Chain A
């Protein structure tokens, strides 16, 4: 039926007044314009670069880098290529962002709950924290922690030591490095098995609780499994993991592994800063759950901890997740301020050193932008998936 009315319409109005045709035409024009604009930009760039004899293309990625990098998660030497230097920088970005998101979430949730505490001092302290930290520019905080970290710590010769295996000094935190023999695979397998087991256990216990109302101590038993299984595997396979200790040799500590102060300062700044925003998101999320819910749950005889875990948090999460996602994205993008204190992230190593040594600004900036875009898109995809999963299921 609708088809026939549409036909009637188009018969009556002239083509240029038909909204469908107009819409189509204007979209084609827009796309043509964007393509033309892009082409124009590119050809202009190409001819300018050629005129100025500036090297172009992505060939530089396989040329020898020739410089060294302070923190490398994959094998890298001065003989490695610019492409490998890029990977080193990328992994360093992912490392500081990943660990940063983890700790910022924990701290943020604690602070958010603390802000709602009935204990006046705790609530006020949390408010003070949030209001101070989120109102000071992050770059300033990064500098502050870097200068503070460097200023307070002793020289390596007088390093503060813990258990004769951890040493804190101006060059970082030196600690033992685990060395894995080939038999360590068994321990890894045991760990995976333990995780699978825990997942099954929690599903089973939830089903049983829904069916019978009986509870099972999931947390404690999971913890037991996660620890016991790998430990047993470790001893059965003949202790395949041992530690390489850091020792003071000459000026500095050698062996083991060292967290560089740039990493510590950047992580500290990112975590403390982002946590202040997450705290507000968590507080708002919890407050969004109407008080009636808590009271109703209380009337049903649930204990306060249960009310928080079973009633309030699941509902609050729906409010919390979307803004939390932007905080995760912010933290990742903010990690590019690393260059200010020489933490070798992708911005500092690739868009900094490599750009300057090769002079290929356009290619390098394009790659760097693509990196941040990809990380951000992947993070939001994951968070959207999680958000959909916990969304209210209407029955």
Chain B
């Protein structure tokens, strides 16, 4: 009996110790045959399941790009829906391989939580939404308002900074789940709903009467959203980072999912390097050399992903704005593949 207990206890300790093995994510991922990707619990345009449980969105496309790079098959992803509060613990503990969930890159998260941000797939900023009937046209008129938001976000800190620096009193109501925020705002608990502007456009679609609400013009913060990995595994960090860069570079070179086969025959050396015709860029990252070809073929370039998920032709109808390529007046910019 006692022997059994000791064995069990030893097992438990070893289990904990095993959890410590963090390097070699790429081998782990290859061995299990899929990428475990942390996403939101449903944010249209960014990470949202349809009624058949298929996930789509701009953040989901980053997960799919990584799977395409590793396996040559973008569908080899399993998704873990996470609330804002759960996301970092899930990544730290190894429950997920990467997090791609409208997560803002901040100093604390990058330095104190043991995380690394692998780039920015959407440049955002925090905004406010109110009922049209309130007759408010600027955030500066919100003195005394009740504000609904999410806990565990940069949002609740920014809103505190904003109201404090403008010496406006306010009442905060902070929920753990986004659906609870939407519900409370919908029920009239708050005058204002605040989150990333992209999130406001996405969540507005969930309100009973979306037309009765407006997003105020003020953007009160910088919210660079991007994929996140654990510290201590540079190879995996590189792979996630360059999967995103490959999408941006492909857009810049005019390589799309439609013409990528054609482009393989291109004489442009930059395109040849991107698509693995020249060089060993994939090998250096521990994947095959046609990694970026697979990404573009199966997921598309950054512009395609943007247009398909959040662009002007989607219900969200977001313009490229700052997320346009640097060569087109935006700030999306990827280092060269060479």
CB under 8 Å from chain A, chain B span 232-288: 232
Name which of B44-52, B58-66, B149-157, B297-305 contacts chain A: B149-157
Interface magnitude class on chain B: 35 or more
Residue contact B232 to A52, C-beta cutoff 8 Å? yes
Cβ-defined contact, B20 with A51, below 8 A: yes
Contacting pair B160 A66 (CB below 8 A): yes
**B114 to chain A: which residues have CB within 8 Å?**
49, 52-54, 359
B187 contacts A358, C-beta separation under 8 Å: no
Q: Could you tell me if B170 and A68 are in contact, using CB atoms closer than 8 angstroms?
A: yes
B residues in contact with A33, CB < 8 Å: 6, 9
Q: Are B85 and A150 in touch, CB under 8 angstroms? A: no
B134 at the A/B interface (Cβ < 8 Å)? Answer: yes
**Which of B174-182, B220-228, B325-333 sits within the interface?**
B174-182
A361 to B92 alpha-carbon distance, docked (Å): 10
For the complex formed, measure the closest distance between the CB of B154 and the CB atoms of chain A, giving whole angstroms: 9
**Those of A21-56 within 8 Å (CB) of chain B:** 33, 37, 40-41, 44-45, 47-49, 51-55
Taken residue by residue from 128 to 167, chain B's Cβ proximity to chain A (1 for < 8 Å, 0 otherwise) reads as 0000001000000001111000011100110011011000
- Give chain B interface residues in 160-214, CB to chain A under 8 Å: 160-161, 163-164, 169-176, 180, 183-184, 187-189, 191
Decide if B88 is an interface residue (CB 8 Å cutoff). yes
Check if A40 sits within 8 Å of B13, measured CB to CB.
yes
Contact between A52 and B85 (Cβ–Cβ < 8 Å)?
no
Residue from the list B13, B161, B175, B187 in contact with A37, Cβ < 8 A: B13
A190 to B188, CA, bound (A): 45
**Cβ of B84 and Cβ of A67 under 8 Å apart?**
no
Whether A250 contacts B144 by the Cβ 8 Å rule is: yes
Q: Does A240 contact B (CB under 8 A)?
A: no
Contact with B along A137-150 (1 / 0, CB 8 A): 00000000001001
Look across to chain A and name the residue whose beta carbon is closest to the beta carbon of B155.
A67
Q: Does B108 lie at the interface of the complex (its beta carbon under 8 Å from any beta carbon of A)?
A: yes
> Is there a chain A Cβ closer than 8 Å to B31's Cβ?
no
Q: Mark A341-377, 1 if CB is under 8 A from B, else 0.
A: 1101000100011011111010000000000000000
When C-beta atoms are compared, the residue in chain B nearest to A69 turns out to be B172
Nearest chain A CB to B98's CB is how many angstroms away?
15
Query: Which residues of chain B (84-117) have a CB below 8 Å from chain A?
Result: 84-85, 88-89, 92, 108-109, 111-114
A25 → chain B closest CB, angstroms: 12
Contact for A352 among B85, B163, B169, B231, CB less than 8 A:
B85
From residue A65, how far is it (CB to closest CB) to chain B in Å?
Answer: 9
Check B19 for interface membership: any CB of A closer than 8 A.
Answer: yes
Closest chain B CB from A241 CB (angstroms): 25
Q: Is A170 an interface residue (CB 8 A)?
A: yes
Contact A250 B188 (CB under 8 A): no
Q: What residue in chain B is nearest A153 (Cβ atoms)?
A: B188
Q: Does B80 contact A (CB under 8 A)?
A: no
In the complex, what's the smallest C-beta–C-beta distance from A48 to chain B, in angstroms?
5
Q: Is the CB of A54 within 8 A of B156?
A: no
A53 to B152, CA, bound (A): 20
Q: Which of B3-62 contact A (CB under 8 A)?
A: 6, 9, 13, 16-17, 19-20, 22
Q: Distance (Å) between the CB of A107 and the closest chain B CB?
A: 27
B144 CB contacts on chain A under 8 angstroms? 249-252, 254
Residue of B nearest to A359 (CB): B113
Chain A residues with Cβ below 8 Å from B13 are 37, 40-41, 44
Contact indicator per residue, chain A 6-34, by CB within 8 Å of chain B (1) or not (0) = 00000000000000000000000000010
Measured CA separation A147–B180 after assembly (Å):
11
B180 touches A342 (CB 8 A): yes
10 contacts between A and B (CB under 8 A): A44-B17, A54-B112, A54-B113, A67-B174, A70-B174, A77-B164, A147-B183, A339-B176, A353-B174, A359-B113
Across the A-B interface, give the 9 residue pairs with the lowest CB-CB distance, nearest first: A356-B152, A52-B114, A359-B113, A54-B114, A55-B112, A150-B187, A250-B144, A53-B114, A78-B160
